[in-house]
Chains A and B, each alone.
Chain A
Amino acid sequence: PICPNGSDSCQVSLGDLFDRAVKLSHYIHSLSAEMFNEFDERYAQGRGFIAKAINSCHTSTLTTPEDKEQAQQIHHEDLLNVVLSVLRSWNDPLLHLVSEVQRIKEAPDTILWKAMEIEEQNKRLLEGMEKIVGRVHPGDIGNEVYSTWSGLPSLQLADEDSRLFAFYNLLHCLRRDSHKIDNYLKLLKCRLIHDSNC
C-alpha cells in the first residue's frame, strides 16, 4: 500500500519490512561475494593474502554469533542490534572504497560499479533496519555501537603489494560481514514473522 504521508493507518507491515530487508541483504552479499571473487582472481592469485587476512577485520571487535546455536540463543533485540552495529561499521569504509577503487590499476568497471551499488544499498538497508528496530521496540533506535575503520591510509600505500592486500582484506571482510547480516536477518525474519517455521 502506498503511504501518502506515512500516515499511521497505512503503515508497511513488519513482515514487509523484513521481506525488503532480506532481499536487500541477500543482494548486497551476492554483490560482495562477486566483487571479492573478481578481485581475488584478478589481483590476489599466488600472493598468499588469505594467510595475512586472518583476524584483521575492523568489525572483529564486535561480538557476533558464530554458529547456529549462538545465533538461535541470542535474544532477537540483541541480534537486531548486532545487525545495526555491523551495518553502521561499514558506512565509512564503503564510502572510501568507492573512491579508492578507481585508483587501482586497470580496475574493471564491474568492481567499481559493485562498490558503488553496495555503498548505496548498505545505506538503504540501514534505514530499513532502523525502521524495523523502531517497530520491534519502539522508542529505541538501537545502540550506537559500531566499529571504527582506520584502513584508509593502507588503501593509499605506495607499495602495490601492500595496497592490494589492503583491498583484498577489506573485500574479504565485506563478504564475510554481509553474509553474517544476511544470515541473521533470515533467522530474525523466520523467528519474528514465521514463528521459526519458515
Chain B
Amino acid sequence: NGQPPGKPEIIRCRSPEKETFTCWWKPSSDGGLPTNYTLFYKKEREKSYNECPDYKSGGPNSCYFDQKHTSIWTIYNVTVKATNDLGSNTSAPYYVDVAYIVEPDPPVNLTLEWVDQAYAKYLLLNWASPPLADVRSGWLTLEYELRIKPEEGQEWEIIFVGLGTKYQLFSLNSGVKYVVQVRCRTDNGEWSQWSSESYIQLPKEFRLKD
C-alpha cells in the first residue's frame, strides 16, 4: 500500500555574500513510502535544466550553489521533484535572482569603549563586517543599524548608522549597564540577524543628560 508523494514547495533562497546561495524546500506527504528529492534549475539564457550541484552543504532539504554555479543578475527557475515507488510530484517553479536575495551574516567583533575626555564623554562602538562579505573590493556595500537599551530596560533605541563601522553615542545615563547589538544589509537586501550582545557598565560620577 502507500501513495505517490505530495507536492513539495521551494520555500526560500538566500545568499550571504552575493557569491553563493542556498535554496530550501519543504517536503509534502511522503505517501508512507521512502521518498527522495531532486532539485532542478535552469538559468536565464540556458536551454536545459541542471541538477542541484550540492545537496549537503546547506543542510537538510536544501541545495547549495557555490561560486562556480552562481550568476548574479540572472533569473534562476528552480523546481524540486519528490519521487517514491508509486510516483512523483514536482513543485511549482520558483524564480530567483541572487542580486535580490542577499541577507548577510551579522557583523562581528562589536566592542564598546567608554571615552571620558575633558571636552566630551561618549560611548565608542566599533564592529567589523561579516567575514564572508567582500566589502574591501566594493563587491558588497553594507549599511549598518545598531540598537541599545539599558540591560533592565524593555525599549530598544534603534539608530541607523549608514556605511561606517564605528559610532559615538553621547546621550547615555551614568551608572547604567547597557546592552548593544548591530546588524547590516546590502543596499537593497534583507537585514542580517542582530549580532551577539555586548554589554558595558557606565561609570557613576559623570553627568551627561541635560
Contact = CB atoms under 8 A, between A and B. Distances in A.
A67 B17 CA distance: 11
B9 interface: no
B139 A197 contact: no
A188 B134 CA distance: 14
A180 B137 contact: no
A179 B188 contact: yes
Given A186-B138, A198-B135, A30 B73 contact: no
A53 B72 CA distance: 16
Contacts, number: 72
Contacts of B70: 67
B81 interface: no
A177 B99 CA distance: 11
B188 A29 contact: yes
A187 B93 contact: no
B136 interface: yes
B136 A198 contact: yes
Contacts of B19: 67-68
A72 B137 contact: yes
Nearest to A190: B138
Nearest to B98: A67
Contact of B188 (A33, A55, A67): A33
Contacts of B95: 50-51, 54
Interface in A40-58: 50-51, 53-55
A114 interface: no
Select the residue from B70, B71, B74, B138 with max chain A CB neighbours within 10 A. Answer: B138
B77 interface: yes
Interface of B: 18-19, 44-45, 67, 70-75, 77, 93, 95, 97, 99, 134-139, 141, 187-188
Given A67-B67, A188-B138, 8 more contacts: A30-B187, A33-B188, A54-B95, A66-B74, A68-B18, A68-B137, A69-B67, A190-B137
